Amino acid sequence: MFLSPRAWHQSARHRGVLHSTRTRIPPPLLTNPHRHVSLQAGENKTGHIQTGPNEGILFIDNVFPLRLQKLLGIPLDASDKAPGLFQNFITSTVAGADPAHVLSSAAKPIKALEVIPRLKEGGAFVKFSHDATTSTSEVETALKEYLRDKNIRPWWSPFRRMRANLVRGRPWVEDMFQLPTSRVKVQFIPSEPGAEAVELSQEQLFAFFRPYGKLGDIGTQPPDSKVLPKFAYLDFASIPKAVMAKNCMHGYLVSEAEGGGVKGTVLRLGYERKVKAHWIRDWIFGHPRIVIPIVAAIIAGITVAVFDPIRTFFVKAHITRSLHIEDNRFYKLIKGYATDFIGTFRRRQDDDAGMEAVWDDRKGNIEQLQTWLMETADTFIIVQGPRGSGKKELVLDQALKDKKYKLVVDCKPIQEARGDSATINAAAAEVGYRPVFSFMNSLNGMIDMAAQGATGVKTGFSETLDSQLAKIWNNTTTALRSIALDSRHKDDKDAQLADDEWLEAHPERRPVVIIDNYLHKSHIDNSLYDKIADWAARLTTANIAHVIFLTNDVSFTKSLSKALPDRVFRQISLSDCSPEVAKKFVITHLDADVEDDPPHKDGSPKKLPSQHRADLNELDTCIDLLGGRLTDLEFLARRIKTGETPTKAVHEIIDQSASEILKMYIFNSDDDSTTRRWTSEQAWLLIKSLADTSTLRYNELLLSDTYKTAGESVLRALEQAELISIAHGPNGRPATIKPGKPVYHSAFKRLVHDRVLASRLDLAILTDLVKIETATIEKVESELLLLSQLNAQPRTLTPRIQYLLAKLAASQEKVERYEGESKALKKVLGEEY
């Protein structure tokens, strides 16, 4: 049992303790902590507080730190040790107020019998007794006035004072794991079994509960609800007000006079969580026009802030080869020892053998390239030549062999990739751009399409192929600029220059970008090359890097002029080797293997093929047939190594080229009509014409009947397929037509000398010409028939009729000649195999 206020005062005087309401320290809440614990679940743990005659119960809030308990998230009075822990925390000396002392100070005749603390609700029940002349309402009024006048505020709540109210119902004192909330659920319960409870209206509920605090809302059940017992929700402005209402009105009996029905209605109160299920998810799906752009912006921000630096790092590592083990100095050291150990068994690479003669012949081109790389000129460098002429080897292995930082971008795998994802992966692989999430492009496109159908606006999730490629090129530009500036030091003479000025002043420090296979299959899609040219133009104009284009196409100026319209390009055109250089290349290639062989055991000197092989005298004639293309010369040298004579090797190469021509340009054209833009007759006429002479006049060929329809587009397609090469004359116009490779001229002659093949293809051309002339005759006859049907034929029609008759006669003469020639060809086909 608690000490009465008077007994506590008497004991305090003996200890010399002052206890005024403001300055004196109030008595402690409990002198017996075990008694305190026993009251956590009510008297005798029944969950209720029993009152007798002339007794009442008050609830006082702000006795304990409610917010602290809410922050901790556990009901502290659910543990038997909690009151003992709080005994030192909320003693009268620390807290500044004791419910029993406050009650006795407010109303002198009142005696506090018990204090039942509610730690998790931040208050306490005070059971008191009073004399017969004093009512409980008078005690409540006196206590409220006292708290208002004294304005008692605990130290943990400096802005909210203590409040008290009379408990009008039958409070339920429980120690379950339940924290108070600002929403209270009121259930309407019958006062006795078999009776009927009455559902109170909003006005009635407001009258009962408004005295305990401001109400935000009162929610009642729908009229058609079948849920029993009936209930309503009370939303208070704050949790302390809800706690006061719940503890004072729980178990209150609403009488018939108050609207509770004949038997009355009991109010059962409990806390209710104001948590709407899935409200975050519902809000997100309910506002797609707001959420989707925000999510897209967040993803874009994360990509820029996190992935872009990583990608730039990998691009930079790809260019500097910092992650390549072949460039590690320890690896080079070990490799050097191993090379010295097995040096006697090492043989020279066949690809390198014989190239010294070619480089000596092209020494001027190599020096010219190196000079251009030392100059400040914001323009492109173009190395143009047919396929197999050694463009890439000239640039990388010779001109740039001492250049530390160079980036090779091969357009062939990018152009031949199928689909956006494959194209992005191919472009990223060329520059070392990673990580690549190309698979997300299709998924984002589907999300964007679905969101646009739902909201009506684009979300920005999906990105086009151009935007993805632009990111790759931009990250590469950043890496190249960083590499160029890494060689700059603070102690340089021009350290005060800005970055752009320093890059312009030091062209030798810039990395080199080599764009290989430029305009490869440009007839399919030229947009990729336009983007690459624009990126290369930004590199050169910003003095970030030198750009060298390697191309087989002679019409490169048309594409590159779009990117740099006001610049004059620096160009090197590589042609086939001269006969002298070609012969030297083959001989050097043959001698290279013998020079690398170990010496003879008997000490005799090595015999080089050029010294003891008599059949090498045939090389002059063979090279005239083969030409100076490096790939063909290397093929010839390898055949000669196997023991074949040069003449036989050349004829084998010519036969193989002739077979390739038949397969690629003549036969199976119907099966491959979707990709071929020429007919077998057009290709054969070109082969037949070039077999007689190595050069054709461009416009003369277009005058033939076979090339009347789309003749120029057919020639461009055949040039792209490398059957022919078109040389340009003055003002850049096409002037002459030559075989695509020198060996093709001999292959053309070989095909024309095949009587059966020539007869078959010539017959197809004649058949096509007969169709053309027959169509002309039918057109002329139709017009003559129309003119003959006129009633009166004026003299002005006579020249037209004569012209048509002459044209009809000429076409008929051609048809007769073509048919005569066809008979002879058919005879050959019928007699020979």
Token pair for residue 598? 């170990």
**Token pair belonging to 302:** 């994360």
77, 120 Cβ separation under 8 angstroms = yes
| SS3 sequence of 125-140 | EEEEECCCCCCHHHHH
Two tokens, residue 705: 């009947």
**Is there a contact between 536 and 569 (Cβ–Cβ < 8 Å)?**
no
Q: Which of 275, 272, 192 is nearest to 231 (CA)?
A: 272
Q: 11: Cβ–Cβ under 8 A, 6 or more apart, which residues?
A: 3
Collect the ranges in the chain with pLDDT lower than 70. Answer: 1-41, 67-97, 275-277, 324-333, 335-354, 438-463, 593-606, 668-675
Number of Cβ within a 10 Å radius of residue 713: 12
Taking the C-alpha atoms of residue 86 and residue 78, their distance in angstroms, rounded to an integer, is 13
Q: What is the pLDDT of residue 80?
A: 45
- Amino acid identity, position 466: D
pLDDT at 587: 86
- CA-wise closest residue to 499 among 478, 513, 514: 478
Strand ranges in 525-623 using DSSP code E only, listed in sequence order: 546-551, 570-573
- How many Å separate Cα 350 from the centre of its chain? 43
- Cite the beta strand spans of 672-733 per DSSP E: 696-697, 724-728
Cα torsion 100, 102, 108, 110: sign: negative
According to the model, what pLDDT value does residue 457 have?
53
CA distances from 679 to 298, 670, 747, 764 (A): 55, 8, 19, 11
pLDDT of res. 674 = 52
d(CA 242, CA 240): 5
pLDDT value, residue 331: 65
pLDDT in tens, 178-232: 889 999 999 999 988 888 899 999 999 999 999 999 999 999 998 888 888 999 9
**How far apart are the C-alpha atoms of 828 and 780, rounded to whole Å?**
34
List, in sequence order, every beta strand (DSSP E) within 495-563. 512-518, 546-551
Identify which of 486, 460, 407 has the alpha carbon closest to the alpha carbon of residue 293: 460
* C-alpha span between 697 and 344 (Å, rounded): 56
**Contact in structure between 531 and 466 (CB atoms under 8 Å):** yes
Answer positive or negative: Cα dihedral of 59, 63, 68, 72.
negative
* Entry pTM: 0.63
Catalogue the E-assigned strands of 469-562: 512-518, 546-551
d(CA 293, CA 306): 20
The bridge status of strand 512-518 relative to strand 696-697 is unpaired
CA distance 366 to 678: 39
Distance CA 196, CA 192 (A): 9
- Would you tell me how many other CB atoms lie within 10 Å of the CB of residue 745? 22
Residue pair 517/551 in contact by the 8 Å Cβ criterion: yes
Q: Within a 10 A sphere around the Cβ of 485, how many other Cβ atoms? A: 14
User: Mapping DSSP to helix (H, G, I), strand (E, B) and coil, where does residue 814 land?
Assistant: helix
CA distances from 142 to 62, 137, 765 (A): 18, 9, 124
Q: Is domain 655-753 given the CATH code 1.10.10.10 in the classification? A: yes
pLDDT at 151: 85
Closest CA to 551 of 645, 415, 436: 415
Helix (H) or strand (E) holding 269: strand 265-271
Compute the distance between CA of residue 828 and CA of residue 699 in angstroms, rounded to an integer: 32
Q: What are the residue boundaries of the structural domains of the chain, listed by start?
A: 5-166, 183-275, 311-347+378-573, 655-753, 764-831
**Dist CA 250 CA 186 (whole Å):** 9
User: Rounded to the nearest 10 degrees, how much is the dihedral formed by the CA atoms of 132, 135, 139, 144?
Assistant: -170
DSSP symbols for 152-189: ---TT-TT----EEE--S------SS----SEEEEEEE
**Strand positions, DSSP E, 379-531:** 381-384, 406-410, 512-518
CATH code of 183-275, in short, is 3.30.70.330
Q: Which residue from 75, 52, 416 is spatially nearest to 271, judged by alpha carbons? A: 75
